[in-house]
Amino acid sequence: MRTRNRVCILFCFLLVSTVSAVDQGSITGRILDNSTGLGLSDVNVKIVETQQGTASQKDGEFIIDNIYPGEYTIEISAIGFEIARNTVVVSAGKATSINILLNPKVINMEKIVVTATRSPQLLEETADVTLVQTAGEIRAMGAVQVNDIIEYMPGVSSIGGTGSGQPFKRSVSLNGMPANYSLILLNGRRVLSSHIHTGANVNVVPPEHIERIELVKGASSALYGTDGMGGVLNIITKNGSTSPGISFISYGGTQNTYHNGISVAGSIGKYINHSLFSSWEQTDGTPIIEPVFRKDKLGYTMFHLMDQFDVETSEKFKASTSLHYMNSETPYRQNPKASWFFIPCIDLEYQHSDHFSLRASGYYSQWKSQLNNELNELASPVILFRYDGWKDQNILFGAEYIYRNFSRSRVIEHDQQSYGVFVNDEFRLGARWRFLTALRLDKVQNIEPVICPKLSVLYNLNENIAFRTSAGRGFKAPTIHELYETLYVHTGDIHCRAGNPDLEPEYSTTVNAGIDLHLSDRLSFILNGSYYSIENMITPVDHGLEDPTNYFPRELIPFITDSLVYIYRRENIHKGTIASGEMKILWHFFDAYTLETGFNISHNKNKDTGETLPYYPGQSLSFKLQGVQTLIKGINIGGFVGLNATMDRKIWRFKHDGEQQGSLNDYQKLDAGLSILFSNGYEFFVNGENLLGQELHLYEDVDFITQGTALYRFGIRLFTH
């Protein structure tokens, strides 16, 4: 009898369990960032009535099983986003599918992973003073070029305008340093561009394909070798995902501007993720006042193509290949001039064990332009060994080879090779202290070996206050252009710029310090400062009227007919000091509204003459207000207003008559944008630039003054998944 009863009880239990399983349903779906259209991982999804829940996966997908039929409220929450609640109906034996769009809330810097220090890590754990602009911020601004984004980052000054370069070129001054001391990277690879001697062009990829922009303050030669004396700006593009998706943008505006861009991402088979981006743009260009000979000749057409494959065949092996290609054409003195820039690269990573990994990568970068007959090439393989088997410690060993080849008008083709080996040690002492120690040895062709150390420290006083400081040595080897230029003639002010094969490297000692204050969940305050001491500064020196054969064989200068010419020759003659400070306040005053203000002041001088250095950025002040408001269910309206003001800027005009030091006019640039976002993935937007109609005065190698004209763009974005 007991056996029979046990069998009956077991049978009833199984019957009830089976019926219950049949009666239960599930909720599946995907969580997307409403500002970018991208899937969000690690988002909390909870059923309010039952407290059942889960977290979204890599591409925002989630599933909650074993739910009894009925009507439920699900709550979706993530740091940096508004909490969302949706009502869903669960049916027996069925999966209820729902897609959820989250609106950005607070820009949470703590959960951003940065890579500009060569080691992926959370921003809150980074010892270096680092600033980041995210994809959500970029989209909210309606930016059409990278310089539109970074001009709101404190400590950054935009430089641009050229007599014979690309009309869309803009370079950046970091911490008061001239732009040619800034290292510009695209996904960790050096960017080449026109007029590289005045700084690399940051406008090498449309903003709609940017995931984030990282700015690391202070000398970074201990990490990257030459070029990084002023700091590192790393532009990170978007990657593919396992879920298929398409995004499209199209806009038009004043100056006969038209732009179309499309991005396609998804998986190919089981192991491959793919991302393809392409864009095309044409414009009549910026309306300018100076230089006169380029007036109405700043139009261009530009084509971009970026293709990336990410392969992960196992937990131990990953591979990635990518290609970035840009082609542009612009009129110059009535003749169209073409140029192109491309970077093919490959990355291989092998995880040997839980604590040891090996990464090998290589890339080739080329800039070529018909204007000035410019060819700039760079090839660089890198190998990295990482070990984190010791508690609270991460050690990185690396070796890097760089091959450069360069030629230009009045620069005969030369190559230059360099080798670098380095070690980084990141470690923690207790819960409050984090350290980064780095040491690098570089051997550049025809130059004695250079050793650059660096120490960075992060101290978390508590969860609301963090201090960062760093000290290091930087160096910049003379470039091929600086070494071998042969009397480049500047028209309009007849003088010749000359290279010097006897140049020595430039050196700097740098100290940076900063404090992050999270005064509340809604208010943050950042204060940074830096000091540079530079030796052996390479500066063009006025030699007055001289016989050029004093420096160059006659066969190299057959274009010179006069026996005497005005010569500016580069020499290591100056020492410089630069002191700068910056402030940033982030106020999240409503759930989906943010006000960001920034102020920067810098001062530099030539220690030998007491004058300012070739570029003096003065002061800048910026305000940025952005937010998203729900109109009705499924329709949001977003807006952006930004003001950027510059004051007290000075430059050197290398000319043999008149004042060498000059001032640039102050200006206030007001931009604004408005967009309507639909939950089905559509967005309509309008943006206005320079709404105050002020003349903008920039300088690179000539005065570049734009007309006081407001520019407008109207367009549409589309996201499908």
pLDDT at 185: 93
Question: In which order are the strands placed within the sheet that holds 130-134?
Answer: 130-134, 210-217, 231-237, 182-186, 189-190
pLDDT at 109: 43
Written as one string, the DSSP assignment of 110-139 is GG-EE-TTSS-EEGGG--S-EEEEEHHHHH
Run of H or E including 223: helix 221-224
Task: Mark the ranges of the chain whose per-residue pLDDT is less than 50.
Answer: 1-4, 6-22, 106-110
Helix (H, G, I), strand (E, B) or coil at 423: strand
Identity of residue 197: H
22 three-class SS: helix
Instruction: Tell me if the bond preceding 291 is cis, omega within 30° of 0.
Output: yes
Reduced to 3 states (helix: H, G, I; strand: E, B; else coil), residue 6 is helix
d(CA 294, CA 332): 7
The pLDDT, as a whole number, for residue 559 is: 72
Q: Which residues contact 245 (CB under 8 A, 6 or more apart)?
A: 37, 264, 265, 266, 719, 720, 721
Picking from 651, 637, 608, 487, the residue whose alpha carbon sits closest to that of residue 553 is: 487
| pLDDT (0 to 100) of residue 383 | 96
SS3 call for 495:
strand
pLDDT at 445: 94
Q: State how far the Cα of 681 lies from the Cα of 664, in Å rounded to an integer.
A: 44
**What DSSP line would sit under 579-631, residue for residue?**
EEEEEEEEEEEETTEEEEEEEEEEEEEETTTSSPPSEE--EEEEEEEEEEEEE
Across 466-503, b (16+ Cβ under 10 Å) vs e yields bebbbbbbbbbbbbbbbbbbbbbebeeeebbbbbbeeb
| Residue 182 · residue 173 · CB < 8 Å | yes
Counting beta carbons within 10 angstroms of the beta carbon of residue 93, is it exposed (0 to 12), middle (13 to 18) or buried (19 or more)?
A: exposed
Q: What is the pLDDT of residue 22?
A: 46
The DSSP bridge partners found for residue 30 are 61, 99
- Phi-psi sector, 80: left (phi>0), alpha (psi -120 to 50), beta: left
In the DSSP assignment, the letter for residue 555 is G
Domains recognised in the chain with CATH numbers: 22-102 (2.60.40.1120), 110-215 (2.170.130.10), 216-267+282-720 (2.40.170.20)
Cα separation, 123 vs 41, in Å, equals 18
Q: What is the pLDDT of residues 627-677, one digit of tens each?
A: 888 888 788 899 999 999 999 999 887 766 667 788 999 999 999 999 998
Q: What does pTM read for this prediction?
A: 0.84
Q: What is the per-residue pLDDT across 566-623, written as a single tens digit (0 to 9) for each? A: 888 899 988 899 999 999 999 988 877 899 999 999 999 888 888 888 889 899 999 9
